[in-house]
Amino acid sequence: MIEKRTVTNRRYLENVTFSIENNTVYISDGYLVDGRRIPIEGITFNIETDEYAECMYDIYITYSNGMYGYEVEKTYLSYGALPCYTGGSKLFHTFASIEVKKGGSLEGHYTLIASQGVGNVEESYTQDKQPEDT
């Protein structure tokens, strides 16, 4: 099962949707809002299943050259491997983590960013650190 989570931030996502159908992940085009609406292009990719090895797909929102975008990294969870972002852009947000179990079942979560003051306290927490703050 893939759980939906929500965090609040002064920079938030608008019009972004997430779905998985037939082992294909769909993230729609949308905007990252920080006083202005910055377009963020959606992505689609296939999840590969394996009867013998478990893996993790992590989807990151990154920042580089004034643009935000998605990056996907796949990690095989064998021999103590731990998933982590290895790209060269500034990491803004871990959007989703999807674990693919042996045989193909999926577990994990995706996390939408809402405007501060929006959301259920039980589901929400605040993420204040920004790429420019590091």
Return the pLDDT at 7: 94
133-28-25 Cα angle (round to 5): 100
| Confidence class for position 34, pLDDT limits 50, 70, 90 | confident
| Confidence class for position 80, pLDDT limits 50, 70, 90 | confident
pTM of the model: 0.83
Q: DSSP strand E in 11-122: where?
A: 12-14, 18-21, 24-27, 30-33, 37-40, 43-46, 55-64, 67-76, 90-100, 106-115
For the cut 50, the answer to whether the pLDDT of residue 130 exceeds it is: no
Return the higher-pLDDT residue of 54 and 129.
54
Return the pLDDT at 71: 97
Return the pLDDT at 72: 97
For the cut 70, the answer to whether the pLDDT of residue 103 exceeds it is: yes
3-state secondary structure of 106: strand
| Confidence class for position 126, pLDDT limits 50, 70, 90 | very low
What is the percent of the chain where pLDDT is above 90? 69
Return the pLDDT at 118: 53
Q: Structure tokens of 82?
A: 């731990």
Mean pLDDT of the chain: 86
pLDDT tens string 48-58: 988 888 999 99
Total residue length of the chain: 134
